[in-house]
Amino acid sequence: METGNSTARAEELKAQANEAFKAHKYAQAIDLYSQAIELNGENAVYYANRAFAHTKLEEYGSAIQDASKAIEIDPKYSKGYYRRGAAHLAMGKFKEALKDFQQVKRICPNDPDATKKLKECEKAVMKLKFEEAISLPESERCSVADSIDYHTIEVEPQYSGARIEGDVVTLDFVKKMMEDFKNQKSLHKRYAFQIVLQIREMLRALPSLVDINVPEGKHFTVCGDVHGQYYDLLNIFELNGLPSEENPYLFNGDFVDRGSFSVEVILTLFAFKCMSPSAIHLARGNHESKSMNKIYGFEGEVRSKLSETFVELFAEVFCCLPLAHVINGKVFVVHGGLFSVDGVKLSDIRSIDRFCEPPEEGLMCELLWSDPQPIPGRGPSKRGVGLSFGADVTKRFLQENNLDLVVRSHEVKDEGYEIEHEGKLITVFSAPNYCDQMGNKGAFIRFEAPELKPDIVTFSAVPHPDVKPMAYANNFLRMFS
């Protein structure tokens, strides 16, 4: 009798999980699907649904595992392949995705939706193969930056936007540009080139690990992911003041992608740094990379608002971004997290050759991709890249490097932040109502020297013009969102 009961109870849990999913409560949905799986581990639907919820939380590694389990239980279950294909796609694994969609098509030969997605996937793989075929090896590539002389670019007399007089980016210029962006006007390509080329020189000269000194009595603000949410960035400046020598910021990676105002965000952050290098510090996130920008919208947006040359140029500049920062020798700030091995010293991070696309493994990859976990030790990453690390790993890293705190970003949090690992690790995320649907708050952290006690400020999303997130994303990915 018991099995009948538990089957019925599992179905109830699934129904509750579906409701939570519809309300964008994805973590809760995962929890409920997991309870249903506990009661009945032979139902492929529970795994496929949980895979979808993982996808929504960008936990593509877990999504692939769940979808594979669904397929194992029922090899003819098309949704299992479909979900796995979508997760492969989200990780930029087009060839694996293609195999999964071919299976979907085999199982449902007459489904127009499956046919359409397969066609798009084939197109994406063809494009990728073509790009690989024509691309030069790293050693033979010449820098696109070296081929641009912005001085020779004409500014038409009818252009009414912000202008840089001479070679100096001033606060007046930045303010005018921000106002233009706010009103959905664009910046002339000449000035965009000027800013991006200037920032490239500045970033190239920095070490991979940057030390920041905050004098006694002064403060310093750390922001997490902004993800192209320009109007929320303006709101941060409204709440906490514009970046300046007296009011310095660190933006901790993932400036672009997903949100459809990534060009405005990146040009604003870069312009502030040109204006005053010590007013703003910028760290690389996992989305400051070609493979992510191809999928999640930045590349398409740059093409649409600027040009093909800028796509190349931004990719080059992103490779110059530092990988981590240390504030007053005490607070370690990094986009993702810590390492798969013990004993990593700050000097090891300093000596990383960062001028490349992020590799699939190793220190640089882990800095950009890892996440904390509640249990001690290390585990596989839910994302399928990097790893998960426990409080013991955090504690040892801090002790060995004479540090007090790890601050990282990389994960959406309901309150905009989360304090974990016995207070030794803080996640800060600055894109409220992420992707216009997560309902989360955003946050930033203010540190005052010498104590550097973290003062966390949270804020809600503000309205923005009606351009949907992912508006410029890979066609193919948009089908799944």
CATH number at residue 14: 1.25.40.10
Beta strand segments in 224-264, E: 249-251
Query: Could you say which of 134, 169, 189 is where a domain stops?
Result: 134
DSSP letter at 282 equals: E
Has residue 4 got a pLDDT over 80?
no
- Contact (CB, 8 A) for 287 and 296: yes
Q: Is residue 19 part of a domain?
A: yes
Q: Is residue 252 part of a domain?
A: yes
Return the minimum-mean-pLDDT range out of 87-91, 229-233, 282-286, 318-322: 87-91
- Contact (CB, 8 A) for 446 and 240: yes
Tell whether 202 and 160 lie within a shared domain: yes
Tell whether 169 and 264 lie within a shared domain: yes
Q: Is residue 20 part of a domain?
A: yes
- Contact (CB, 8 A) for 122 and 95: no
Tell whether 127 and 149 lie within a shared domain: no
User: Mind telling me the catalytic residues?
Assistant: 287
Q: Please give the pLDDT value at position 481.
A: 56
Query: Could you say which of 114, 134, 154 is where a domain stops?
Result: 134
294-346: per-residue pLDDT in tens? 999 999 999 999 999 999 999 999 999 999 999 999 999 999 999 999 999 99
Tell whether 371 and 266 lie within a shared domain: yes
Return the minimum-mean-pLDDT range out of 83-97, 222-236, 359-373: 83-97
Tell whether 8 and 74 lie within a shared domain: yes
Q: Is residue 447 part of a domain?
A: yes
Query: Could you say which of 107, 134, 161 is where a domain stops?
Result: 134
Q: Please give the pLDDT value at position 480.
A: 62
Q: Is residue 464 part of a domain?
A: yes
Q: Is residue 139 part of a domain?
A: no
What residue numbers bound the domain in which 187 lies? Answer: 145-478
Structurally, how many domains does the chain consist of? Answer: 2
Tell whether 103 and 248 lie within a shared domain: no
CATH number at residue 259: 3.60.21.10
CA distance 254 to 282: 10
Average pLDDT over every residue of 229-256? 98
Tell whether 260 and 198 lie within a shared domain: yes
Where is 420: in which H helix or E strand? Answer: strand 417-420
Average pLDDT over every residue of 101-107? 92
Q: Is residue 177 part of a domain?
A: yes
Tell whether 85 and 163 lie within a shared domain: no
Q: Is residue 436 part of a domain?
A: yes
Tell whether 218 and 78 lie within a shared domain: no
Tell whether 123 and 244 lie within a shared domain: no
Tell whether 157 and 62 lie within a shared domain: no
Tell whether 240 and 356 lie within a shared domain: yes
Average model confidence (pLDDT) across the chain: 95
CA distance 390 to 405: 14
Residue where the block lists tokens 């997903």:
258
430-480: per-residue pLDDT in tens? 999 999 999 999 999 999 999 999 999 999 999 999 999 999 987 666 666
